[in-house]
């Protein structure tokens, strides 16, 4: 009877320690998964910011090029008007 009780207690203790150990491992896995998700999210956000920055730079360059072209055409128009006025 004593040996059966000892075996039963040992089994219960081992099972509870095993569950605790698995719980710790599960927590580590969940923490690691959260870290990886956060890292991936941060990479996506960084890439998006970079693409937005590139897009803005391209738009600004096109606007500046357009302004230069308009200014050049205005200069040429002034020259033609001055020639005709003479």
- Could you read off the pLDDT of 18-75 as tens digits, one per residue? 555 566 778 888 888 999 999 998 999 999 999 999 999 999 999 999 999 999 999 9
35-41: list long-range contacts, CB under 8 Å, 24+ apart.
none
pTM: predicted TM-score of the whole model, two decimal places: 0.54
Q: Residue 18, class by beta-carbon neighbours within 10 Å (0-12 exposed, 13-18 middle, 19+ buried)?
A: exposed
Distance CA 51, CA 49 (A): 6
**Domain-by-domain residue ranges, the chain?**
1-86
SS3 86: coil
pLDDT reported for residue 12: 59
Candidate from 12-16, 32-36, 75-79 with smallest mean pLDDT = 12-16
Kindly calculate the radius of gyration of the chain based on its CA atoms and give it in whole angstroms.
Answer: 37
Residue corresponding to tokens 């040992």: 10
């Amino acid at each position: 009877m004593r040996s059966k009780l000892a075996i039963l207690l040992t089994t219960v203790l081992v099972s509870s320690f095993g569950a605790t150990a698995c719980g710790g491992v599960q927590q580590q896995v969940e923490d690691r998964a959260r870290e990886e998700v956060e890292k991936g999210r941060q990479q996506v956000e960084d890439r998006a910011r970079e693409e937005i920055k590139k897009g803005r730079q391209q738009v600004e360059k096109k606007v500046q090029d357009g302004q230069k072209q308009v200014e050049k055409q205005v200069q040429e128009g002034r020259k033609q008007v001055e020639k005709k006025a003479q």
